[in-house]
Amino acid sequence: MRAKDWSTHPLGPPETWTQSIKTAVSLCLNSRFPILLWLGPELRIVYNNAYIPFLGETKHPAMLGAPGREAWSEIWPAIGPMHDEVRAGRATWVEDLQFFFARRLPLEEVYVTFSYSPILAEDARTLEGVFCVCTETTERVLGERRLSTLRDLGLRVSEQRTVDAACRKAVEVLDANPLDIPFAAIYLLDEDGATARRTAGARLSDDPSTFPTVFPLSEHAAHQPWPLAAVARTQKAVEVRNLPSRGGIFTAPLWPDLVQTALILPLEMQSQSALAGFFIVGISPRRVLDADYRSFLDLVAGHIAGGVADARAFESERRRAEALADIDRAKTIFFSNVSHEFRTPLTLMISPLEELLAKPEGELPEDGRVLVTMAHRNSLRLLKLVNMLLDFSRIEAGRAQAAYEPTDLSRFTAELASNFGSLCERAGLRFDIACPPLPQPVYVDRDMWEKIVLNLLSNAIKYTFEGGITVRMAATTDGVALRVSDTGIGIPTADLPQIFKRFHRIEGQKGRSFEGSGIGLALVQELVHLHCGIITAESKVGRGTTFTVGLPFGTGLPAGGAGRGSTLPVPHLRASGRLRRGGAAMAAQR
């Protein structure tokens, strides 16, 4: 202000200015806040030091004293109407208004919050100028805009299950921010690292040669303007300038300007040294690629790489789970087939043995009878195992069909259990059955319930050498609980969670007989689950074990709750291909 020669200026020397203008100018020059004054009928400009950054090198100091409409011609369409408002006597205020200043670029995207208030003459009516306090909010507006893109990327990319979907979602998010991302393409490298494939793209040019779907890295020279091979080699971002002269013609989404610069960022996999691919992104022609813009794009690339890595991990986990399920299915089919094949010859062996045993005394030598009895007993044992395997694989394959019938479960259970009375007596064990009447019938498949009770009881006898066994049945709030307790050898705490697993047997556990396959409890658990029930075990080594089976009364099980393959309410489930009967005699063989 002091250095300028005002003597020939249309505003005249400052000492001739009116008192109101002098006061306003003094306020402006002494303020540390950016302030601009529009003075006189031509709205000539006076500003303070704090305002200089708005102008950049091209406008300062030429703008001092210049007529407003010319000096700020590029923003006049936006601010002209505000001057009209002030002229009409109304102060105005605007927040984060978008401007395109001729500053670091011919049209630089800038955001400003400012207020216009009238400078009135001493008569308090004549308008002598406009007092404008302003602050540039570009950094905050851009920061919020970019943060929102990054937040959306974080939310939407990481939840994708396939690599393609992750890339497509990422580009969809970037598409919503055309001001920072004029165009974007994601290329992923094949496993051999020799070919990059376009996985997703936003606002790519119409010319397919600019963004080929497949990009053999060895021939990168043929694919101007993208030096992907160089990025792959150095794993560093490359800035591609003067895009239009290199054949990359991209018009900015919201303006007629051509995009001049693009950035190719490597998509790095955190856990691996190899690259996942490349992120090619256009730089807004109205923003300088400064440190903030650059770090925003680095973060975008990081999100994309993270999304790709997550999706890849998910895909490989899914493939692994599918492979395991295949193995499991194959195992189930194998068990099922083998069990079938074993059963026929076993039955054919058992009947002649039974015929032999049925012969009157004397017809079979005594030592022969002993041997045949042994062969018969072991054949039955084998048949029982084969039958259990078959039951189990049927349930696994979802082919077990249960026929749930309303049953007086206390009575039925007591009947089943009573078959074990003589066995316990011979083994010198106490045997108590406490099954009082229940308030209502329970829906069970009777064959299945029989197998549950027989398996639990035969285990109890097998692993109890002194004391006794108790079978107790009681109503609970919404169903019934069967408790089979013994005073046997017990199960070590570490093994308790394992005992319901298929083929799990406790090492070194001594039972009444060595036979056993570890499938009994696994089958019991599956059968209980088919009834929407639960089974638990409590045990103390040397003190005994209690198995508790809880069942709902089951007037109608929830859809799908009746185990694999059954979806109808219990009463409607009728038998078709029912499980084979286990048989008390067979269970007692244990």
Residue ranges that bind ligand ADP, judged by CB under 6 A? 459-460, 463, 486, 488-491, 499, 504-506, 509, 516-522, 545
**Residue 117 vs 509, nearer CB to ligand ADP:** 509
Question: In sequence order, what are the residues at sequence separation of 6 or more whose Cβ sits closer than 8 angstroms to the Cβ of residue 414?
Answer: 433, 435, 471, 473
- What is the distance of C-alpha 258 from the center of its chain? 40
| DSSP structure string for 400-423 | -----EEE-HHHHHHHHHHTTHHH
Give 296 or 463: the residue with its C-beta nearer to ligand ADP: 463
In the complex, minimum distance from the CB of residue 538 to ligand ADP, in angstroms, rounded to a whole number: 11
DSSP label of 534: E
Which of 38, 463 has the CB closer to ligand ADP?
Answer: 463
81-90 long-range CB contacts below 8 Å, 24 or more apart?
A: 82/116, 83/38, 83/43, 83/116, 83/130, 85/116, 86/116, 86/117, 86/118, 86/127, 86/130, 87/127, 89/118
CA–CA separation, 518 and 530 (whole Å): 20
Residues with Cβ within 8 Å of 506's Cβ and at least 6 positions away in sequence, in order, are: 491, 492, 495, 499
Give yes or no for a contact between 432 and 416, defined as CB atoms under 8 angstroms apart: no
Radius of gyration of the chain (CA): 43
Measured from the CB atom, is 68 or 544 closer to ligand ADP? 544
Question: Least distance in Å: CB of 274 to ligand ADP?
Answer: 48
The answer to whether 246 and 225 are in contact (CB under 8 A) is yes
What's the min distance (Å) between Cβ of 456 and ligand ADP? Answer: 7
Q: Which is nearer to ligand ADP, 132 or 506 (CB)?
A: 506
According to DSSP, residue 360 is labeled P
> Is 96:113 a contact under the CB 8 Å cutoff?
yes
Nearer to ligand ADP, 447 or 486 (CB): 486
Q: How far is the CB of 160 from ligand ADP (least distance, A)?
A: 43
Q: β-strand 275-283 against 238-240: which pairing, if any?
A: unpaired
Q: Given the complex with ligand ADP, which of 157 and 521 has the nearer CB atom?
A: 521
Q: Smallest distance, Å, CB 527 to ligand ADP? A: 12
Smallest distance, Å, CB 590 to ligand ADP? 8
Smallest distance from ligand ADP to CB 454, Å? 11
Closer of 491 and 562 to ligand ADP (Cβ): 491
Segments of 127-259 assigned E as strands: 127-136, 184-189, 195-202, 214-216, 238-240
Shortest Å distance, C-beta 582 to ligand ADP: 13
